Structure 1
Amino acid sequence: MLLEIKDLVVRYGRIDALHGISIEVNEGEIVALIGANGAGKTTTMRAISGIRPAAQGSIQFAGEDITKLRADLRVRRGICQSPEGRGVFPGMTVLENLDMGAYTRKDKSGVAADLDRVFGLFPRLAERRKQVAGTMSGGEQQMVAVGRALMARPKLLLLDEPSMGLAPMVIQQIFDIIVEINRQGTTVLLVEQNAQQALSRAHRAYVLETGLITKTGTGQELLHDPSIKDAYLGVA
């Protein structure tokens, strides 16, 4: 098992945002975490990244307890996140943004190979490598954010709402690329409001509601679950 979260509680002040959730991610999987706004999805990602401290519970990664490990050291262990809202460096070029993803690495030949890999996944970025990221469309900025995360050569790629604010055609493209990234060997934990896209591609999935895991199953099981259809897929 690559990631194991047990009984995780995260608080903002006196308010519990997560009420003791447990999640498992096996190596080679795409695991989706779906839920409405305010369910605690982004808080879960921030806890895994080390941005939000755990009040209770534990986070194990590759057999190591990382519950209290600093965020930057988690990146070095192989956890890298593409954040909600993309978070590109707007005044820097595409290439400079991608280089920032590799800031912990010293293997120049490996970095060059991974840059080629990112440009293979996202040909648009290769064409626009000198363009300032802040002038790009939302879909292009999402490509930059995912590519930047890949430049750290993560064992676990955390994707927080990759389809947010994107046109339907671009959403389809982004999800196809996520599947390809996984096919190439990167494990993916995906937080997403677009349940249809997430569940249709996930090996397994969890439903998070107001800080609690309420359902889990394969992506296909949840995709065809009547209660999930009613709540998240817009069909009865």
Structure 2
Amino acid sequence: MLLEMENVTVAYGRIEVLHQISIGIDEGEIVALIGANGAGKTTTMRAISGIRPLSSGSIKFAGEDISKLRADLRVIRGLSQAPEGRGIFPGMSVRENLDMGAYTRRDAAAIAEDLERVLALFPRLLERIKQPGGTLSGGEQQMLAIGRALMARPKLLLLDEPSMGLAPMLIQQIFNIITEINQQGMTVLVVEQNAQQALSRAHRAYVLETGTVVKSGAGQDLLHDPAVKAAYLGVA
């Protein structure tokens, strides 16, 4: 298993946000984590990235216990995140933002290769290569955030709410690209409120409610699960 969270509890002060959650991701999968606002999805991502310390439990990545490993060292190990809200550098050009994704790397030829691959995935970024990130549309900024994360050449790509604030056509486009990235061999964990898109693309999925995993299974199974449909897909 590429990533294994076991009985992970995370608290903000005295408030426990995640309650002993266990999640596993195999190499080559798209795994979705769905749930309502405040369910603990972003906290789960922050725990995996090393931004939030664990109160208890453990996280293993590629067989190594990374529970206490610093966030920057996790990037070097192969964990890369496109955060909620995109988090691009607005004053830096598209090219500079992408270069920042490769800041831990020294393999110039492979970096150039990855830049080419990212720009082939996102032709719009090539058109905007010299523009400041802050002048891009929401959809373009999301592409930039994903492209920047890919520049780290991760083993696991973490995507936190990639469809947030985007028009339906752009959401479709972003998820098409996520599927394409996965077909090229990338393992993906996607946290998403758009359950329809996430479940239809995911090999497996977990449903999070108030910091607890309440359901898990194949993406297609959860997509047709009556309780999931009623709670997250607006279908009674």
> Could you say whether these structures have the same fold, taking a TM-score greater than 0.5 normalized by the shorter chain as the test?
yes
Distance 1:106 1:180 in 2: 27
**Aligned-pair distance for 1:109?**
0.4
The aligned residue for residue 181 of structure 1 is 181
The aligned residue for residue 146 of structure 2 is 146
Distance 2:150 2:18 in 1: 28
Q: Quick one: percent identity of the two aligned structures?
A: 77
Distance 1:96 1:160 in 2: 22
Q: Deviations over 1:137-187 (max 9, x none)?
A: 000000000000000000000000000000000000000000001111110
Distance 1:28 1:59 in 2: 19
The aligned residue for residue 158 of structure 2 is 158
The aligned residue for residue 43 of structure 2 is 43
The aligned residue for residue 133 of structure 1 is 133
Q: Deviations over 1:84-113 (max 9, x none)?
A: 000000000000000000000000000000
Query: What RMSD in Å do the two structures reach over aligned CA positions?
Result: 0.3
Distance 1:54 1:189 in 2: 19
Partner letter of residue 113 of structure 1? E
Distance 1:3 1:23 in 2: 8
Partner letter of residue 27 of structure 1? E
**Aligned-pair distance for 1:51?**
0.1
The aligned residue for residue 111 of structure 1 is 111
Pair 1:34-2:20 in alignment: no
Describe the SS at the equivalent of 2:206: strand
Pair 1:81-2:85 in alignment: no
- Map 1:35-74; keep pairs closer than 5 Å: 35-74=35-74
Distance 1:106 1:76 in 2: 11
The aligned residue for residue 228 of structure 1 is 228
Aligned residues: 236
Distance 1:191 1:140 in 2: 19
Distance 1:9 1:235 in 2: 32
The aligned residue for residue 120 of structure 2 is 120
Partner letter of residue 216 of structure 1? S
The aligned residue for residue 211 of structure 2 is 211
**Aligned-pair distance for 1:41?**
0.1
Distance 2:181 2:120 in 1: 11
Distance 1:136 1:114 in 2: 22
Describe the SS at the equivalent of 2:39: coil
Structure 2 residues not aligned, in runs of 5+: none
Distance 2:216 2:226 in 1: 14
Q: Deviations over 1:27-78 (max 9, x none)?
A: 0000000000000000000000000000000000000000000000000000
Structure 1 residues not aligned, in runs of 5+: none
Distance 2:199 2:110 in 1: 33
Distance 1:99 1:222 in 2: 38
Structure 1 consecutive aligned stretches of length 4 or more whose deviation exceeds 6 Å: none
